[in-house]
Structure 1
C-alpha cells in the first residue's frame, strides 16, 4: 500500500521535529557533538528496549553519526 505523501502536513511536522532534536545531515564538528549528546540522552532513556517508541530514532541518529565519522575519519 503506497499512501500519498501529504507535504502540507509533512513540512511543519519536520520543522517541529528538527526544533526538538538534531535530525539532519551532520555538517561540522558542532553538529556532530550535538548529535552525539542527543544519542547519549536517547540511550539513557531507551537502553536496549526494542519496544520503546524512540528505539528506531536511536538507529537513525546512530546512522547519521556513523556517516559523519566515516567521512571525517583521518586517513
Structure 2
C-alpha cells in the first residue's frame, strides 16, 4: 500500500492536534510531565471503552511515554 500524502491538508491538521494535545516526541522532563498528565486525563475520560473515538490515542501517547522512559530511565 502506497498512501499519498496530502501535505496541504496534513500540516494544518498536525498543527491543530499539537496545539490541542501534547502528541509529539518527548524531549524533556517537562514534556514528559505534560504528556503523562495528558495520558491520565485520557484514561479518566475513555476508561476501558474500546469504542470511544479517543481509545487508540491512549496507545499512541503511551508509546511516546514508553520511548522516553526507555531512553531516560537508569538501568
* TM-score normalised by L of structure 1: 0.95
* CA distance, structure 1, for counterparts of residue 20 and residue 2 of structure 2: 28
> Which residue of structure 1 lines up, in the alignment, with residue 59 of structure 2?
59
CA RMSD of aligned residues (A): 1.0
Equivalences, count? 75
Map 1:1-75 onto structure 2 (within 5 A): 2-75=2-75
* TM-score normalised by L of structure 2: 0.95
Structure 2 gaps of 5+ residues are none
Structure 1 gaps of 5+ residues are none
